[in-house]
Each structure stands twice: as structure tokens, then as C-alpha cells.
Amino acid sequence: MLPAKIAIVAFFLQLTATLQVISNYLPPQLKLVRDMLETYDKKSRPVWDHSRSINVTFSMDLYQILQVDEPQQYVLLNAWIIERWYDEFLYWRPEDYDNITEIHLPHSSIWLPDTTLYNSLIMKDDDTRRLLNVKLTADENIRAAYIELLYPTIYKFSCLLNLRFFPFDIQVCSMIFSSWTFDQKGIDYFAYSDIVGTTNYIENEGWHILRTAVKKKEVKYECCPNKYTLLSITLYLRRKPLFYIINLIIPTSITTLIAIVGFFTTSTASGMREEKISLGITTLLSMSILMLMISDQMPTTSTFIPLIGWFILAMITIITFGTLASSVIIAIQKRGRQKSRLTPRIVCLVKFIACIMFEDIPKHLRETHEKELKTTTLLNEEGQHFSRIKQAAILQRRQKTQAIEPHLCELSTLSYNNNNNGTDLLSPKEAGQSVDISDTLDPPMSSFCLRCDSLKGGNIGSKIITSEKPQRPSQNVSNTCDEISIRQNRRLARDEYDWMAKVLERLFFILFVIIFTSVTIGINSLGFYYWCKMDHVLYDS
């Protein structure tokens, strides 16, 4: 029995010696990993004193901003994260393992802090970050292993975008990192640097990073007795507005300016302007399409209107009022067909505006309006004069004696001389401007004198009884003068209203161009001022 026990003990001693010899021939790195993980449990927080917290140092290097989505209010970016802490359970003495001070292990082999992005829009951790290996470094001063966890991430986090000055806006977006299960007594976070690293950053075509900031905050939640340590990483982003200036602001401005020019210019001096209404409607439709393009990029909100929305709304308002002003001008032009001329007060007002607008004044309006009234009075007096001639001819025709003969010839001679000389009808100054009545009177007066000559020849009774033509020349002359006067007034009324429409067109054109220039420069200058001011404020802070 004793020899059997001695044999078993000898066997185990030999096996132990053999294993010792084999282990002496293992690589130091493999031996180190085996010795560290032999009694290690990654489920436990790696600190000897459970009342102490693990200090985790967090740093982020920004690699690329992938997307800033205005309607959905989120930011998508690519970053490189490094987390650092001490693991007291994984310490080794380098001299025992061929002076190995650094080793790499899979991330699934050791304890990891549950660092979480609080405002992340992706709940699955595997879709957010890709964990690979961890680097362990022996620290003989505190007898612990210094752990560095490096991993790339694509974070999609919510950000409340302030689009009040879009596209001259500056956005401030924050990322909140902390442990989801451990409070401040379990894990305490610290920032490795006060800024986010941008050494390997790829510049975005639409956004420029003004500055970054990393701050530590302690927050007490109602659900938990202890405070949580939060790391707030803030990105200050400034939009590059060139794309929107080229594709939205400039086309909108050009469209509005062309519409204004089309509203208040005419191809001919008296051409009708109805086609301008269709121009205004077409321009408003194009503005509506631009408004839809902008609304697709804006969040659905009723708290504010973006700056570019105000700009396009102002352009739509200008085009709308331009269309209404063009309608007023068309109505004024058509009123000239109603034969009523402008009143002296309106003529004076339009003349004043025409002088300011450097617009020509019609020839017949260069004289005062009182002269035209005097001319009308003279024409009326001429008509009364012809009426008196007519009545005298009728009275003379009724005479039954031959004494009527010299009177009729004298009357005809008087009418003929008055018509040729023009002294009784028109003044010498206005004889060239009035209608030449002599051409109308010559044939009737000649026949009238022949009738007088025939009366002198002796055939008195029959000629006087059958002759009714002495009253027709005066009637024709009176009717001709009335018709000429009406026709002249109609033409002058049409010319005056056309001239008034041209003056108002020039006035509206200058007025709308001033409003358009002021609105365009004012709104865009306001956005550019905010764009530059916030830049200086951030740098000063």
C-alpha cells in the first residue's frame, strides 16, 4: 500500500516538474496573457476598493462631418474616440515577463465602461461604434494596467438648429457623453483636452468649424440618489452660404428685377399693356417654386421664418404690388378713350412728377391750361358767329323786294372776306393752329355769289323762291367745326392719358427699383452681419 502512494506522489511531482519545464519555454507574451486572464473576471469593476470610482478620460478627434439635416434636426459625423482608465486587476511586473510593458487584447476580454452618447438617435451600439482591441500598459507607480480603448464611430445625434438667419446661420451642437448605469461614485469622467482634435479633419463643403469645446458637468437626476458626470462636447458650425447665394438669392433677385423692368416699360409710346398681368402671374408662379425648394430644407415650425424666407416673401410682395400698379396704369390708359380730358389740377400734378422723372411733356401741354380754355372759348364764339350768319341769311331770303339783292351780295362778300382774312374768327396768332375753314367755305360762297349775280341779271323771283342754299354753307361750317373740335378733344384726351400712364410708369419703376434694392441689400446685409458678428463673438469668448 505504501509503495502505491509513493508512486502516485512521484507521478504528480514529475508531472509538475514537466509542466514547469514546459512553461519555462512558453513565449513571455503568451505567458503574460495566461497569467493575467487566469483569475480575471470582466463582469467586475476593476478596482480593489469598491468605494472608489474609476476615472475615465475621454477624448475625441473629429474626422468628418457627413451631414447636417435641417428638416430632421440632426447631425451625422465620423470621429475617432479614445477612452483611458486604470485596471487594477490586470497589473504585471515587466521584469517577470521579459520586460514587456505593453500588450494588446481583444476588447471582449476585459471590463469596459458603458460610455453612451445621451442624445444619440441610434440605439444599437454596434451600429454606432466599432470596438476592436485595447492597449494595456503596465504602470509600476500605482500597480495597475493603463487601458486605452481606441475605436472609430459614426454618431447620429439630435441638434436643435437655429435657422432664423438661414443661409447665414451659425449652429451650436452639443454631444453628451456619460455612463448609462454608473453614477459618479462608479465612474467619473474627465476630458483629455478642452477641445476636439481636428488634425485629421476632412473639410466639409457646406460647413466650417469655428471652434470646439469640451466641458465637464455634474447633473443630479430625480431617478437616482447620486450625481452623474457628463462630458459635453460642443461644436460651433458656420454654414458656407455660397451655394444658396448662387442658386437661390441671385436667381430670385434677377427674376424680380426683370419683372419690375417688364412691368414699367413699354415697347411703344401708346401700346397697350395687358400682357404685363400675365408676366406678373408667371413670375409669382416661379417664386412659388423657389419657396417650395426652400421649404423642403426647413424644419416644420411656426415659431420663426428663416431669413431667406423673408427675402423671397419680400420679392413676392414686390411682384404682387408691381402687378397691381401695372393694372392701375392700364386702367388709366384705357380711360383716355372716354373723351374726357385731364383736369388742370391733375395736369399740374403730372407735370410736376414728369419734371422730377425727366419725362417729356406733350407739345400741347407745354402751354398753360388756361390758354387751352381760352382756345375752347374762341371756338365756341366762332360757332356762335356762324349761327348769326345763318340767321341773317334766312331773314334776307324772306325779303320780297329787289332791295335784298345788294344785301345778299354784301353778306356773301363779308362772309367770304371774313373766311379769307380770319380776323373775325381767329386771332392772327392762332390762325395757323386752328382748322383752315376757308377750304370748306370757298365752294359754297362762290356759288352763293353766282346766285347773287344771276339775281342782278333780272331773274329775281324764281331764283329767290327756289334758292335754299344760302343756309347750307353756314350749317356745314358749324357741323364741321363741331366735329373737328370733338375729334381734336378725343385725340388730346387719348394723348394726355397715355402721357400720364408713361409718367406713372416711370415713377413706379424708380420707386420699385429703390424698394427692390433696399430689400435685397438690407436682408442679405443683416444675415452677413450676423454671420461675421457671431464669428468674432465666438473667437473672443
> What are the boundaries of each domain within the chain?
28-240
Residue type at 237 in one-letter notation: L
pLDDT of 219 above 90: yes
Residue type at 199 in one-letter notation: T
Cell 470582466 identifies what position? 42
- CATH architecture under which domain 28-240 falls: Distorted Sandwich (2.70)
pLDDT of 322 above 70: yes
Provide the pLDDT for residue 304.
82
pLDDT of 275 above 90: no
Q: Which of the two residues, 218 and 337, has the higher pLDDT score?
A: 218
- Tell me the mean pLDDT in the region 318-326: 89
Structure confidence by residue, pLDDT tens digits, 393-423: 676 666 644 554 555 445 444 444 444 444 4
Provide the pLDDT for residue 92.
93
Cell 471590463 identifies what position? 111
Among 46-55, 286-295, 339-348, 434-443, the minimum mean pLDDT is found in 434-443
Provide the pLDDT for residue 532.
86
455 confidence band (pLDDT: 50, 70, 90): very low
Structure confidence by residue, pLDDT tens digits, 2-43: 566 676 767 666 666 665 555 556 788 888 998 889 889 999
Mean pLDDT score across all residues of the chain = 78
pLDDT of 276 above 80: no
Among 90-104, 147-161, 165-179, 390-404, the minimum mean pLDDT is found in 390-404
Q: Would you give the DSSP letter of residue 129?
A: B
Rounded to an integer, what distance in angstroms lies between the CA atom of residue 11 and that of residue 189? 54
pLDDT of 444 above 50: no
Provide the pLDDT for residue 419.
45
pLDDT winner (highest mean) among 31-45, 79-93, 312-326, 339-353 = 79-93
> CA distances (Å), 11 to each of 4, 14, 450, 536, in order?
11, 5, 175, 82
- The reported pTM is 0.69
Nearby residues of 462 by Cβ (< 8 Å), 6 or more positions away: none
Q: Return the H-helix or E-strand segment holding 179.
A: strand 170-179
- Tell me the mean pLDDT in the region 163-183: 93
372 confidence band (pLDDT: 50, 70, 90): low
Angle at 161 between CA 160 and CA 165, to 5 degrees: 150
332 confidence band (pLDDT: 50, 70, 90): confident
Provide the pLDDT for residue 327.
85
Q: Would you give the DSSP letter of residue 91?
A: -
User: Which three three-digit cell numbers place residue 410?
Assistant: 354784301
pLDDT of 459 above 50: no
Q: Which residues pair with 138 in a beta bridge?
A: 145
Provide the pLDDT for residue 439.
43
Backbone torsion region of residue 98, taken as left when φ is above 0, otherwise alpha when ψ lies between -120 and 50, otherwise beta: left
- Tell me the mean pLDDT in the region 176-197: 95
Contact indicator for 506, 263 with CB cutoff of 8 Å? no
Structure confidence by residue, pLDDT tens digits, 238-255: 999 999 999 889 989 998
